Amino acid sequence: MEAQKRCLISREDIAQRIKELAAQISRDYPGRDLVMVGVLKGAFIFLADLVRALPFPVVVDFVRLKSYGAGTTSSGEIHITKDVEETLKDRDVLIVEDIVDLGLTLDFLRKHLLTHQPRSLKICCLIDKRERRQVEVPLDYTGFVVEKGFLVGYGLDCAEGNRTWPEVYELLNC
């Protein structure tokens, strides 16, 4: 069945917001040794665009977490399937995530990375999806706020589909 979809965030909107986020981040970390930790797979496109919008180089690392199965609801259980490789102790660390829904994933990752004793730990997420939040996580940089819906594109997937679309769409028959 063809996916029924509605464009929610255009390429232009994404590009503009990334410029603004990069400006904010560069003001907050002037001349600092910043490690940006992308959450695979969803954040890879956002992270790639964000680091290239920054006026200084940063160190990039990744974690891979699994919470969703093949469908659109979280199992509630989070597993690390790939951990960070950088030493985070006494360094400024910024988590880069695609979307926050229940909040369980970022809550888990935040607590996990705090055990590495970074100098600071902040979170940058592309989309804050409000409606179903169960755990409040501190979001220091947010690209867009949406109330609800299952979103795909620009890194976000539905059962591995639609990840490479350059805009963000809401799937209407997901």
Which residues are at the interface with ligand IMP (CB under 6 A)?
Answer: 39, 42, 67-68, 74, 97-105, 129, 150-152, 156
> Which residue out of 101, 128, 140, 157 is catalytically annotated?
101
Alpha-helical regions (H) of 83-174? 104-114
Residue from 33, 48, 132 nearest 96 by CA: 48
Can you read off the two tokens belonging to residue 37?
């930790």
Nearer to Mg ion, 29 or 168 (CB): 168
Minimum CB–partner distance for residue 144 and ligand IMP (Å): 12
β-pairing, 150-152 with 168-171? antiparallel
The pattern of x and - marking residues 25 through 64 that bind Mg ion according to CB under 5 A reads -----------------x----------------------
CB 110 within 8 A of CB 124: no
Nearer to Mg ion, 92 or 98 (CB): 98
Q: How is the chain split among helix, strand and coil, in percent rounded to 5?
A: 20, 40, 40
Site for Mg ion in 94-133 (CB under 5 A): 98
Residue from 151, 145, 141 nearest 127 by CA: 145
101 included as an active-site residue: yes
* DSSP, res 45: H
Partner from ligand IMP, Mg ion, none contacting 101, C-beta within 5 to 8 A by type: ligand IMP
Nearer to ligand IMP, 91 or 156 (CB): 156
Nearer to ligand IMP, 105 or 139 (CB): 105
- Residue 143 interacts with Mg ion (CB under 5 A)? no
Residue from 47, 4, 10 nearest 141 by CA: 47
Active-site residue list: 101
